[in-house]
Chains A and B, each alone.
Chain A
Amino acid sequence: GAGVSQSPSNKVTEKGKDVELRCDPISGHTALYWYRQSLGQGLEFLIYFQGNSAPDKSGLPSDRFSAERTGGSVSTLTIQRTQQEDSAVYLCASRSSFSEDTQYFGPGTRLTVL
């Protein structure tokens, strides 16, 4: 596609519910990242997928957070038993193997946990 797309654009949920956020990277990009943008923490790395390698999960804040990438393309970030502190904008980015330092970001999903 023309760019990275994310869905939904906004998600409001109740504390304790599970949510799934979706990311469609730029076609052909081998690397995919999830970041979180929140008022208190700024922009922080969550998880990184590169091809068929095991993902780098070092940024996930707790075991309630998980992500998968199916078929080397679409990725889903899942947050279980959401808490109010999970409220943030979740950003997805993808990167080509031909430009290893440049990531292209999607518009984000704004998650609000009530």
Chain B
Amino acid sequence: GNSVTQMEGPVTLSEEAFLTINCTYTATGYPSLFWYVQYPGEGLQLLLKATKADDKGSNKGFEATYRKETTSFHLEKGSVQVSDSAVYFCALITTRDYKLSFGAGTTVTVRA
């Protein structure tokens, strides 16, 4: 079956620090990979995605590269802001069943 393992939090950073959240996966077939973000009091939003090996997804200064050889999709941002405080979920979907499988979520708090 499909599964996603992501770095456990919580993670606390100072503004302008570098953020990385590790994510690895196992999947049957060829998955598309996603990072979703949930800001306090809000719903899940798609942050970025990558659909094939070596693709890089990017949005709002965040990046993640689909690494098939290491089955990973680590999220990075070079300089975080207080507004990046949120819960981040790594997820995958396969064309076999089109159901999202999520990691446990990582809570990130950025302090001014």
Q: Is the CB of A100 within 8 A of B95?
A: yes
Which B8-44 residues have C-beta < 8 A from chain A?
Answer: 32, 34, 36, 42-44
Interface residue count on the B side (C-beta < 8 Å): 23
Also in contact, A102 and B44, with CB within 8 A (given A33-B99, A42-B105):
no
Q: Is the CB of B46 within 8 A of A104?
A: yes
Q: Is the CB of A101 within 8 A of B99?
A: no
Interface string of A29-58 (1 = CB under 8 A from B): 001010100000011110010100000100
Instruction: Report B-chain residues with C-beta under 8 Å of the C-beta of A48.
Output: 97-99
A interface, size bucket: 20 to 34
Which B67-112 residues have C-beta < 8 A from chain A?
Answer: 89, 91, 93, 95, 97-105
Q: Is the CB of B93 within 8 A of A56?
A: no
Instruction: Report B-chain residues with C-beta under 8 Å of the C-beta of A65.
Output: none
Instruction: Report A-chain residues with C-beta under 8 Å of the C-beta of B45.
Output: 105
Instruction: Report B-chain residues with C-beta under 8 Å of the C-beta of A101.
Output: 32, 49, 51, 93, 95, 98
Q: Is the CB of B101 within 8 A of A45?
A: yes
Whether A91 is near chain B, meaning CB under 8 Å from some CB there, is yes
Give A contacts to B, CB under 8 Å.
Answer: 31, 33, 35, 42-45, 48, 50, 56, 59, 91, 93, 95, 100-108
